[in-house]
Structure 1
Amino acid sequence: PKKSKQIPDFLFVEEIQEFLNSYNDEKDDEYRDRILFTIMYACGLRVSECVNLEWKQIDLNNRIVHIRGKGDKDRIVPFYQGFEKELLEYKSKFWTKYAIDDHVFVNLKGKPLTSRGIQYLMDKHAKKIGMHMKLHPHMLRHSFATHLLDNGADIRVVQELLGHSSLSTTQIYTHVTTAQLVKAYKKAHPFEK
């Protein structure tokens, strides 16, 4: 029998906002972390893609990131208006103070963050703000895909943005939230007034 694909863990928009808005931008490391987790959600990036991300891959004028993903596949991912200003500010306030090479996300010694380090930073912050769930960085990628599809994005576009070679891989994100079910029911059922 064919093994069914498990619905991926994702966060609701409000949970992502709570997580990102609870950082203290006055602390260098927390400021970096907020920008890191924001770009992961804004672009649906994998942890490995963030670890390897360099400034030369980010086009601030056109608001796009050039990503070399799994299997050395290249893709272009846009990000939302206004985030280019945040990235520019991050570069001048944090990155120029610590960086020793072109990696966007570095620790306070200037070395690139690691995948395990990013997981640790996410766990630490979730515990600090009292989020009572096991968070992992890939949840931001899952949330990115889920929220795009929930808001009407074409599944093939989401496939491109995620860098999936197969549409069936992207289809696991087409699960329906309870709120969507209720909304669709209320809109479509003849007895609903």
Structure 2
Amino acid sequence: MKYFNAEEKELLFKQIYREEGRHRKRNIAIFEVAKYCALRASEISNLKLGFYDRSSSTLYCQRLKGSNSNTLMIVDPYVRKALNDYLDERENLSIVSQNLFVSQKGFPFSRQRMDALMKYYCSQTNAIPQYKWHMHVLRHSRAIELIESGFDVNDVQYWLGHKNSENTFKYLEFTPALKQTLFKKLAALEGSEKSCGDRYPLDDSHMARNCRYAESPGSCCSRALCISKTYLFPLQTF
């Protein structure tokens, strides 16, 4: 799975903010909203002016590909400012389109143009690998960011609009920080919740006398069951 690490993301957005062209505010808003809301390029193109409530700082995200649409509150001040600055500028441009983001000619901003912008900004960093030069990488990056920040999988599922939680769980495989947290929990478990096979000598007599998972006095659940009780259950509920 392609996603930007923290350093790459920082370099990308620094490059976006350095732009001095006439569409600077629009482009900043597009990328800030796309990253924050984890939107696909086609979903950005379909955003309407009426989807954004400035008074409550909420944006209705109409998801595609069978995903659940949702309304997200924009609490990030950078995203909120980028969107409001663009809308203030847009009011003076006499644009009649109801699409939130439009081209110079007033048409919905195309996914092809978004990818072209992404390729340009990434190339200017001289640091981001070329295989990541796609808008969809922002969506993956947001999912990884939320998970590594400690958000519950159900919260991430809602944020991305996934109907099936299996689509959200796939991101767990690509989160180094989460794996480190998991290993730390296992290390703590090693010190306090050992199986009977580790707490006592591994001969059968000690295991039979001391196994806390034994079905009857003088018997043992077997080392395999002790390990599953101690290690696998915490993993399943993590």
Separation (CA, whole Å) in 2 of partners of 1:60 and 1:112? 21
2:27 corresponds to 1:29: no
1:125 Cα deviation after fit = 1.7
After superposition, the C-alpha distances for 1:25-74 in whole angstroms (9 at most, x for unaligned) are: 53223432222111111111111110011121012232221122124843
TM-score, normalised by the number of residues in structure 2: 0.68
Number of residue pairs aligned between Structure 1 and Structure 2 = 184
| SS of structure 1 residue aligned to 2:93 | helix
Aligned twin of 1:109: 105
1:81-100, aligned counterparts within 5 Å? 81-82=76-77, 83-94=79-90, 96-97=92-93, 99-100=95-96
**Identical residues among aligned pairs (%):** 25
Distance in 2, matches of 1:153 and 1:54, equals 29
Q: CA deviation at 1:104?
A: 1.7
Give secondary structure in 2 for the equivalent of 1:66.
Answer: strand
Give 1:178 shift: 3.6
1:170 matched residue in structure 2 = 168
Q: What is the aligned counterpart of 1:119 among 115, 121, 130?
A: 115
Task: Quickly say closer, same or farther: Cα 1:112–1:43, change in 2 above 3 A.
Answer: same
Contact 1:41 1:141 in 2 (8 A): yes
Aligned to 1:22, the other structure's residue is in SS state: helix
The gaps in structure 2 that reach 5 residues or longer are 189-238
- What residue number does 2:11 align with? 18
In structure 2, distance between residues paired with 1:55 and 1:95: 12
Return closer, same or farther for 1:115/1:152 CA change in 2, 3 Å cut-off.
same
Q: Which amino acid aligns with 1:33?
A: N
Partner of 2:145: 147
- Match among 31, 36, 39 for residue 33 of structure 2: 39
CA RMSD of aligned residues (A): 2.4
Match of 1:158 among 156, 159, 166: 156
Q: What 5-or-longer segments of structure 1 have no aligned partner?
A: 1-7
Higher helix share: 2
Higher relative contact order (CA 8 A, sep 6+): 1
Rg larger in 1 or in 2?
2
Q: Give the stretch that moved more between structures: 159-168 or 75-84.
A: 75-84
What one-letter code is carried by the residue in structure 1 that aligns with 2:13? L
Q: Which segments of structure 1 move beyond 3 Å, counting only runs of 4 or more?
A: 176-190
The answer for the alignment partner of 1:61 in structure 2 is 55
